[in-house]
Amino acid sequence: MLGKTAGGLYWMFRGLERAENNARLIEAGFRIALTRSTNTETEWKSVIITSAAQQGFTAKHSEFNSTNVIDYLLRDTDNPSSVLSVVKQARDNARLVRTALTTEVWSAVNETWMLITELLKNPIADTDLPEVLSIIRQQSALVRGALHGTMLRNDIYDFCRLGTFIERMDSTARIIDVKYYTLLPSPSLVGSRMDNVQWETLLRSVSAHRSYRWAVEDDYTATNIANFLVLDRRMPRSLAFCAGQIVENLDYLSEEYNDRRPSLDMAERMAARLKGRDIHSIIEEGLHDVLGTIISDVAALGAQIEKDYRFIH
Amino acid sequence: MMGQDSVRTPYVDYDAWFSKQDTTRLSRKAQEAEAFFRRTGITFNVYGQSDAEERLIPFDLVPRILTAAEWAKLSRGIDQRVRAINAFLHDIYNRQDILRAGIIPVELIQNNDAFLPQMIGFSPPGDVYTHIIGTDIVCTGEGEFYVLEDNARTPSGVSYMLENRETMLQMFPELFSKIKVQPVSDYPKNLRRSLAASAPASCEGRPTVAVLTPGIHNSAYYEHSFLADQMGVELVEGHDLRIVDGKIAMRTTEGHKVIDVIYRRIDDEYLDPLTFNPDSLLGVPGIMDVYRAGNVTIANAPGTGVADDKAIYCYMPEIVEFYTGERAILKNVQTFRCSDSLQYVLDNLADLVVKEVHGSGGYGMLVGPAASKQEIEDFRAKLKARPSNYIAQPTLSLSTVPIFTDAGLAPRHVDLRPFALMSPQGVNITPGGLTRVALKEGSLVVNSSQGGGTKDTWVLED
């Protein structure tokens, strides 16, 4: 496979994952803004920070309100991470690697791009927002479904999955970091009883408010939620799950190419740091520091994968 | 059919089927086809417009039909012409017998931008220059074919030929069981085989073929990816390639892999920044050296443009005769070189089609009968300033074929671009080709960039 194609697949699925994550973040922010009549500014600000869009946002807007934030994250083409930008980027990448995709996957991406471009042509009114966000999530699921259902399990598939999980792991780590910290100003408060609405928002932003109840069967507590999002291997957006998937896909590549490249060692080290850990020891160590390390590890791993598989040079 | 009294022979069976169809159903089918094209991304970009403007080429659901006998004549003529063009190129870049014989003026070659001195004294693998040729044909009556233009550089449109047939098969499967149509679906297989057969002598084992594209912003990108996909070969861009041990290699996830045959869809001048345009980022620095050392095949060969120039076109009957020893089977449209016949052309602008010698895509041309007084006067000034830049042709009384409109069938002008493949093993022409249709009533311009559409082209079984 061409190195460029591997890179195109990887970035295509990072883009689609990012679009979906943005939609979730907005939804969670929107819900909390609805339930609170005053001072939603902090909430919207944390949405922007989580999406790693603070610099670009403040260059254009002075106020963190729903109109500005939603527009910036959904429609603003100056924002390289807006849904509109990433969907276009994903579709451009899909065109680039079209010979590597089944007709079903290509059609799903192309249709997603057509639909979402049309959908986001004009600013979104609050009344239309839930439907728009749900379409974005559905389209992302459609592409994923086409990938699962029609693609050969070979290197092409592995690069798609690596893009998905690198992006997801980064996103989940940021979500926990931003939320956890705003909710817990000092480490001594960790484990104390929290505002349920806030916790639910955090779970909603990773689509886990329902699965939490089924899986954890317990009240919202900081440790339970942290454990669920960081360490629970049943939860498909948890850090441990993402790390496991990344190792698995790099392992398949190593088998297929019959060699072992540095990215696999890095990924295994990263996964090992989460495996068999206890959430209390992580909190003791300092959750923020641990998350910070994870975020930079994921970035370094992404760069190493690019290098190992010659995406660019 | 088409409001005429009688239905032309090749259309009899189709007409019988059509007359039983419900037009509302057909209209719905037409819409379905359009939605399918859009979803599949069978689009092209129009230069000079924002890249969000990906356009569909309108598809007409009435096929253009040729009899086996018409096709036999046409394909014989194309075969002859393609061989002559290839022989002409080899001659022009080597012994130049045709110039010595005084058949073509030397200036026409010397002052031709498409003539590449880098190709002088070099013979490409198997002496094949034009691996793929598209010959634009018009028709003035039954069996009366004229060649409008030869496309010997990187002819495009073959993906539409294939997709149009695929669409027809999906929309009207019953039609194909009633009427026996010669298939076109072997084209990708034949293309790959033909390219592989043109691999350099130094290639050992099964040749690796790749399609070289300028990238996703090129107007024909869809076709590039489609052909690579259908052939099962990699679609590469210049930055995927580099020279490794004197050969062209592509960067893969498993290291560099040698390519033996490059089907390039980028123009000569962008091919090698070390030899041609130094600013080009699309090509591969040094590829011409690898080529001249016999370590890669470039299809089509650099410098083939010298054969499809509109100034050379005038000499095509002589070229065919010179290299094949036979009279040309296909006629040329009568053509006036404006450098020789300026006064005649100026006097008859309202009746002529005037084209730029190096133009393409329907840009920079004047269709006299359809032009306003002002347009004619504007063009007159351009023509006077640079007569040698133009040729003129009479507007033929082109035959029409029916298209499907809201008001039923209506006649429109068409042309036809059959695709010929050439390798050291011979010439292969796919039965049919791309029919382009001028959708505007009375219009003669069929280019997709100018509002033309396409339709499926049927060659009936004997």
- In chain B, whose CA is at the least distance from the CA of A6? B253
Cross-strand pairs, B452:
B438
Burial of B318 (0-12, 13-18, 19+ CB in 10 A): middle
Nearest to A95 among B225, B252, B254 (CB): B225
- Contact residues, chain A, for B252 at CB < 8 Å: 1-3, 310
How would residue A206 be classed by pLDDT, with cut points 50, 70 and 90?
confident
Closest among B137, B113, B153, B154 to B388, alpha carbons compared: B113
Residues A96 and A159 in one domain: no
Asked if residue A112 and residue A237 are part of one domain, the reply reads no
The answer for residues whose C-beta is within 8 angstroms of residue A196's C-beta and 6 or more apart is A220
B107 close contact with A: CB closer than 8 A: no
User: In Å, how far is A267's CA from the nearest CA of chain B?
Assistant: 18
| pTM score of the predicted model | 0.87
Q: Among all residues of chain A, which has the CA nearest to that of B217?
A: A92
CA–CA separation, B357 and B329 (whole Å) = 24
**Is the Cβ of A107 closer than 8 Å to some Cβ of chain B?**
yes
Query: How many CB contacts within 8 angstroms connect chain A with chain B?
Result: 56
Tens digit of each residue's pLDDT (9 = 90 or more) over B271-284 = 999 888 888 888 99
Cα B62 from Cα B19, distance rounded (Å): 12
Q: Which residues of B92-103 are buried (b: 16+ CB within 10 A; e: fewer)?
A: bbeeeebbeeee
Taking contacts as CB-CB distances below 8 angstroms, the residues of chain B near A310 are 251-253, 255
Cβ–Cβ < 8 Å for A227, A210: no
If asked whether residues A165 and A34 sit together in one domain, one would say no
Number of domains in chain A: 2
Answer yes or no: do A165 and A311 share one domain: yes
A4 CB within 8 Å of a chain B CB: yes
Measure the CA–CA gap between A117 and B286, rounded to whole angstroms: 42
Q: Are B38 and A3 an interchain contact pair (Cβ–Cβ within 8 Å)?
A: no
Asked which of A177-191, B295-309, B343-357, B429-443 is least confident by mean pLDDT, the reply is: A177-191
Per the listing, tokens 């689609």 go with A16
Same-domain pairing of A146 and A194: no
One domain, residues A177 and A96: no
Inter-axis angle of helices B187-197 and B221-231, to 10 degrees?
Answer: 80
Beta-carbon-side half-sphere exposure of residue B236 (alpha carbons within 13 Å): 31
Residue A141 has pLDDT above 70, yes or no: yes
pLDDT attached to residue A191: 46
Sign of CA dihedral B309, B311, B312, B317: positive
Quote the pLDDT of residue B156.
92
Rounded CA-CA distance B363/B380 in Å is 16
Does A60 touch chain B if contact means CB atoms closer than 8 Å?
no
Chain A residues closer than 8 Å to B254 by CB: 1, 257
CB < 8 Å to B40, chain A: 103, 106-107, 110
B409: enclosing H helix or E strand? strand B408-417
pLDDT for residue B396? 79
| B235 close contact with A: CB closer than 8 A | yes
User: Which value does ipTM take for this structure?
Assistant: 0.79
Chain A residue closest in CA terms to B238: A4
| Same domain, yes or no: A136 and A232 | no
Residue A2: closest C-alpha in chain B: B252
What's residue A181's pLDDT? 63
Angle at A60 between CA A59 and CA A66, to 5 degrees: 120
Other C-beta atoms closer than 10 Å to the C-beta of B447 total 15
Q: Which chain B residues are closer than 8 Å to A160 by Cβ? A: none
A5: which chain B residues are within 8 Å (Cβ-Cβ)?
A: 234
> Which of A36-40, A129-133, A185-189, B42-46 ranks highest by mean pLDDT?
A129-133
Q: Note whether A156 and A305 are same-domain residues.
A: yes
Give the chain A residue whose CA is nearest to the CA of B235. Answer: A99
Cβ atoms A89, A17 nearer than 8 A = no
Q: Is residue A167 located within the same domain as residue A313? A: yes
Residue B237 touches partner A, C-beta closer than 8 Å: yes
Most confident of A15-24, B258-267, B280-289: B258-267
> What is the CATH T-level fold of the domain B334-394, as seen in this structure?
Dna Ligase; domain 1 (3.30.1490)
Mutation target among A1, A2, A162, A261 for the B interface, most CBs of B within 10 A = A2
B442 burial level (CB within 10 Å; 0-12, 13-18, 19+): exposed
Position A185 confidence tier, pLDDT thresholds 50, 70, 90:
very low
Same domain? A159 vs A123: no
Nearest CA in chain A to B233: A99
pLDDT at B3: 45
Q: Which domain holds residue A252?
A: 152-313
Chain A contact for B40 (CB, 8 A cutoff): yes
Give the mean model confidence (pLDDT) for residues B166-195. 94
Q: Is B39 on the interface with A (CB under 8 A)?
A: yes
Let me know whether A136 and A181 are in one domain.
no
- The secondary structure element, H or E, covering residue B339 is helix B338-347
Q: Which of A201-215, A247-261, B98-112, B367-381 has the highest mean pLDDT?
A: A247-261
Q: Do B252 and A310 make contact, defined as CB atoms within 8 angstroms?
A: yes
Whether the CB-CB separation of B383 and B354 falls below 8 Å is answered with: yes
Cis peptide preceding B300, ω within 30 of 0: yes
- Is the confidence at residue B2, as pLDDT, over 90? no
Which residues of chain A neighbour B237 with C-beta distances below 8 Å? 4
> The tokens of B1 are what?
């059919």
Neighbours of B257 (CB within 10 A): 16
| Residue B95 to chain A, least CA–CA distance (Å) | 41
For residue B201, which phi and psi values (nearest 5 degrees)? -60, -30
Task: Provide the pLDDT confidence category of residue A221 given band limits of 50, 70 and 90.
Answer: confident
Per-residue pLDDT at A187 exceeds 70: no
Q: How crowded is residue B334: how many other Cβ atoms within 10 Å of its Cβ?
A: 11
Q: What is the pLDDT of residue A209?
A: 81
Residue of B nearest to A92 (CA): B216
Question: Would an 8 Å CB–CB cutoff place B28 in contact with chain A?
Answer: no
Please indicate if any CB of chain A lies within 8 Å of the CB of B23.
no
pLDDT of A4 strictly over 90? yes
Average pLDDT over residues B89-98: 97
Burial class (CB in 10 A: 0-12, 13-18, 19+), B164: buried
Enumerate the residues of chain B whose CB falls inside 8 A of the CB of residue A156: none
Please say whether the dihedral angle defined by the alpha carbons of residues B319, B323, B325 and B326, taken in this order, is positive or negative.
negative
> What digits encode the pLDDT tens for the residues B108-123?
898 888 999 999 999 9
Among the listed residues B66, B169, B165, B50, the one whose alpha carbon sits nearest the alpha carbon of residue B459 = B66
Whether residue A260 has pLDDT greater than 90? yes
Nearest chain A alpha carbon to B236: A2
**How do strand B144-151 and strand B132-141 relate by DSSP bridges?**
antiparallel
Is any Cβ of chain B less than 8 angstroms from the Cβ of A111? yes
For chain B, which residues make up each domain, given as ranges? 9-331+396-459, 334-394
Q: Whole-angstrom Cα distance, residue A4 to residue A309?
A: 9
